[in-house]
Amino acid sequence: MSNQEIKFYYKNITADAIGPEHGISKSQFEDLARETTPLIAQLNEERKLGKTPYRDLPFIAESLKRVKDLIAEVKDGCENLVVFGIGGSALGNIAVQTALNPYMHNMDDTQRTGPRLFVFDNVDPAQLASFLDWLGDGLDKTIFNVISKSGRTAETAAQFLIIRQLLLDKLGPDGCKKQIITTTDANQGTLRAITDEAGFRSLVVPDGIGGRFSVLSDVGLFSAGMCGVDIDSLLVGARDMDKRVSSEDFYKNPAAINAAINYHFYKRGKKISVMMPYCYALKDMADWYRQLWAESLGKATDLAGNEVFLGPTPVKALGTTDQHSQVQLYREGPNDKLFTFLQVGKFDKDLTISPAPDCASELGFLAGKDLSVLLNSEKKATEYALLESKRPCLTVVFPEVNAYTVGQFIYLFEVTTSFAGALFGINPYDQPAVELGKEATFALMGKPGDEYTEFAKKIRSLTNVDESFLV
Ligand code: PA5
């Protein structure tokens, strides 16, 4: 499958490409190689010691079998698959679906080989109500996959409680049991307790793996496999990338180089990292990356406990759409960004541009060209324009978007995140700052306990509207 390897292209961050003030010189790059090389061995060692269990996900046959067995059991007769989850329990599912199923998957029976997929990663009442109105009496043809590692996340818990009651009311206890599948911790947590008591079928969020690193586990594989994605190839892609990102030769290791470049630019004031796919199917990969990068690298303290308050800000954009929205800023605004384009060689389908009418001969140059050629020319045009403005640009090249290349991409960026964490000297695997908001929600929603009552008062004193500031 070597012709299906994704490639990481980094010439356009060099001083040769964008000049010495903004680009990386040869000697700076050699310094980066020297600084990063020991971290490769360190990460490989940590992996052997079981400290980064996400690295092993593509190799766990038991998980793949569990997912496939369940798919075989429930796919027949399932017209809709609904995922309830948030953050790492949703973004990977959305990204894989957008990448690997056709745009009209949910609308056109002929364009899918499994159920429609709906991922609700919010608690907007109008959104869910609209879906339930559409679903009508289709509850018995719908599987609800409730994904939560902890089981206590308010959004997912609320969705679950609503759907559980609806299923109990409409289909009774047996129907409810049949339509709900949970994905949660194997042994502990609220959702595990509910699952065991109700007898729901369930999948597992593996131990020691944060949501944002979990897409290649049961968390992401179930919805992908149900909806016709070749999950074997997804995992083979990740396994093949594992070899490349384990290489102790810095110059052959795309994750080490990617992290080192990001680290270098962050330290020199380019603290915003823009991922810009030139392919609609990859747009939600940029969203998945945004969480991975932000939650992993945005940290107040380093490994020694010193306050550092660091973290690159990930931004998602889409080519060509955002050329007409963001590129003015990207070129003429502050030179504080590193750009990562995602580029595709061959699209699944292509269209040729038709001839122009006689009255619009100035459009004639487009006629006969494929849309993919236009899209990729626009990528080059934007890259050129950014380089003219001395902005550093990386590109990840996908020969095609398929399960094998997407598996490589996911694994490449997960391991890049580990390298970036090591270079910044922070722990990329926790997310302590997310917890305060979760706890505050519990307090405001009236969770019992004196500490929550006091906490709610404190929150209200800070957040209740002061009319004198309202215009
Ligand atoms: O990446 C993460 O760890 C988070 O985004 C979690 O996935 C998210 O907060 C949801 O948590 P849980 O799966 O416990 O409901």
Distance 290 CA to ligand 1 centre (A): 14
DSSP characters for 367-425?
TT-BHHHHHHHHHHHHHHHHHHTT--EEEEEEEE-SHHHHHHHHHHHHHHHHHHHHHHT
pLDDT of residue 243: 98
Distance 85 CA to ligand 1 centre (A): 8
User: Ligand 1 atom closest to Cα of 89?
Assistant: 7
Pick from 69, 33, 63, 94: nearest CA to 285 = 94
The one catalytic residue in 295, 337, 379, 414 is 295
Q: Which pLDDT band, with edges at 50, 70 and 90, does 349 fall under? A: very high
Q: Which amino acid is at 233?
A: S
Cβ < 6 A, ligand 1 pocket: 86-89, 148-150, 153, 156, 210-212, 295, 431, 434
Distance 369 CA to ligand 1 centre (A): 45
pLDDT of residue 310: 97
Distance 322 CA to ligand 1 centre (A): 29
Q: Which amino acid is at 317?
A: A
Q: Could you write out the three-class secondary structure of 18-63?
A: HCCCCCECHHHHHHHHHHHHHHHHHHHHHHHCCCCHHHHHHHCHHH
CA gap 388, 10 in Å, rounded: 16
User: Ligand 1 atom closest to Cα of 86?
Assistant: 10
The one catalytic residue in 21, 197, 324, 362 is 324
Phi, psi of 43 (to 5 degrees): -65, -40
CA gap 186, 208 in Å, rounded: 12
CA gap 223, 238 in Å, rounded: 18
Q: How far is CA 36 from the centre of its chain?
A: 25
pLDDT of residue 275: 98
The CATH class given to the 2-49+235-424 domain equals alpha beta
Domain with CATH 3.40.50.10490 in the chain: 2-49+235-424, 55-232
pLDDT of residue 236: 98
pLDDT of residue 150: 86
Distance 325 CA to ligand 1 centre (A): 31
CA gap 300, 172 in Å, rounded: 49
pLDDT of residue 435: 87
pLDDT of residue 267: 97
Helix axes 403-424, 231-246, angle to 10 degrees: 40
Q: β-strands 116-120, 299-301: how paired?
A: unpaired
283 is catalytic: no
pLDDT of residue 3: 85
Q: Which residues of 97-126 are buried (b: 16+ CB within 10 A; e: fewer)?
A: bbbbbeeebbeeeeebebbbbbbbbebeee
CB 39 within 8 A of CB 422: yes
Distance 439 CA to ligand 1 centre (A): 14
Radius of gyration of the chain (CA): 24
Tell me the pLDDT tens digit for each residue of 179-215: 999 999 999 999 999 999 999 999 999 999 999 999 9
Query: Which residue CA neighbors atom 12 of ligand 1 most closely?
Result: 148
Tell me the pLDDT tens digit for each residue of 146-185: 999 988 899 999 999 999 999 999 999 999 999 999 999 9
Structure tokens given for 138:
């289709």
Q: Which pLDDT band, with edges at 50, 70 and 90, does 357 fall under? A: very high
CA gap 2, 236 in Å, rounded: 12
What is the best residue among 93, 146, 153 to mutate for testing ligand 1's pocket, by most ligand atoms within 8 Å of CB?
153
User: Ligand 1 atom closest to Cα of 431?
Assistant: 3
In whole numbers, what is the pLDDT of the chain averaged over residues?
A: 97
Query: Which residue CA neighbors atom 9 of ligand 1 most closely?
Result: 87
Query: Which residue CA neighbors atom 15 of ligand 1 most closely?
Result: 148
What is the best residue among 54, 84, 89, 427 to mutate for testing ligand 1's pocket, by most ligand atoms within 8 Å of CB?
89
CA gap 213, 92 in Å, rounded: 9
User: Ligand 1 atom closest to Cα of 438?
Assistant: 9
What is the best residue among 150, 191, 436 to mutate for testing ligand 1's pocket, by most ligand atoms within 8 Å of CB?
150
Mean pLDDT value of segment 419-446: 94
The one catalytic residue in 48, 170, 346, 438 is 438
Tell me the pLDDT tens digit for each residue of 243-289: 999 999 999 999 999 999 999 999 999 999 999 999 999 999 999 99
Distance 401 CA to ligand 1 centre (A): 27
Tell me the pLDDT tens digit for each residue of 109-131: 999 999 999 999 999 999 999 99
DSSP characters for 202-244?
EEEE-TT--GGG-TTSHHHHHHHHHTT--HHHHHHHHHHHHHH
Query: Which residue CA neighbors atom 2 of ligand 1 most closely?
Result: 211
How does DSSP classify residue 352? B
DSSP characters for 273-288?
EEEEESSGGGHHHHHH
401 pLDDT more than 90: yes
The rounded percent of the chain whose pLDDT value lies above 70 is: 100
What is the best residue among 54, 91, 149, 182 to mutate for testing ligand 1's pocket, by most ligand atoms within 8 Å of CB?
149
Q: Which CATH number fits domain 55-232: 3.30.2320.50, 3.40.50.10420, 3.40.50.300, 3.40.50.10490?
A: 3.40.50.10490
pTM: 0.96
What's the CA angle centered on 288, arms 283 and 294, to 5 degrees?
125
435 is catalytic: no
CA gap 434, 321 in Å, rounded: 31
Query: Which residue CA neighbors atom 13 of ligand 1 most closely?
Result: 148
Query: 10 Å Cβ neighbour count for 259?
Result: 27
Distance 87 CA to ligand 1 centre (A): 5
2 pLDDT more than 70: no
pLDDT of residue 1: 63
Mean pLDDT value of segment 354-380: 96
438 is catalytic: yes
Instruction: Describe the chain by its helix, strand, coil percentages, rounded to 5.
Output: 60, 15, 30
Q: What does each C-alpha distance from 150 to 120, 173, 193, 207, 209 come to in angstroms?
A: 17, 24, 11, 11, 12
